[in-house]
Structure 1
Amino acid sequence: MAQTDVRPIVKLRSTAGTGFTYVTRKNRRNDPDRMVLRKFDPVAGLHVDFREER
């Protein structure tokens, strides 16, 4: 029987278009939708939204 991971690894890609990514884990039960976090993009030099990509 296949078991799905409750805390999968997700990639967060910058919305600034720089291509910078963060890698993190999320809890599927608490956050079933795509995650959006505001984090620092060192390429752009400012804080931007990072969206989960699958």
Structure 2
Amino acid sequence: MAKGNELRPVVKLRSTAGTGFTYVTRKNRRNDPDRLTLTKYDPRVGRHVEFREER
């Protein structure tokens, strides 16, 4: 199986607060074909902010 064509690729989620903090997760391409956005905790800001998928 080719790495570049996985159904559940590893994606980086970067904070929109501008701190540069990232989370790493996997996503299912069939269920989430668009870029992923999640609200998660950013320890550099000390609060929950939106994280967006980075490509």
Q: TM-score range by the shorter chain?
A: over 0.9
Q: Greater helix percent: which structure? A: 2
Could you tell me which residue of structure 1 aligns to residue 48 of structure 2? 47
Could you tell me which residue of structure 1 aligns to residue 6 of structure 2? 5
- Counterpart CA distance in 2 for 1:32 and 1:40 is 24
Could you tell me which residue of structure 1 aligns to residue 25 of structure 2? 24
The gaps in structure 1 that reach 5 residues or longer are none
Could you tell me which residue of structure 2 aligns to residue 37 of structure 1? 38
Please report the TM-score for the alignment, with normalisation by the length of structure 1. 0.94
The letter for the 2-side match of 1:13 is R
Runs of 4+ that moved beyond 3 A: none
Please report the TM-score for the alignment, with normalisation by the length of structure 2. 0.93
Task: Give the percent of matched residue pairs that are identical in Structure 1 and Structure 2.
Answer: 75
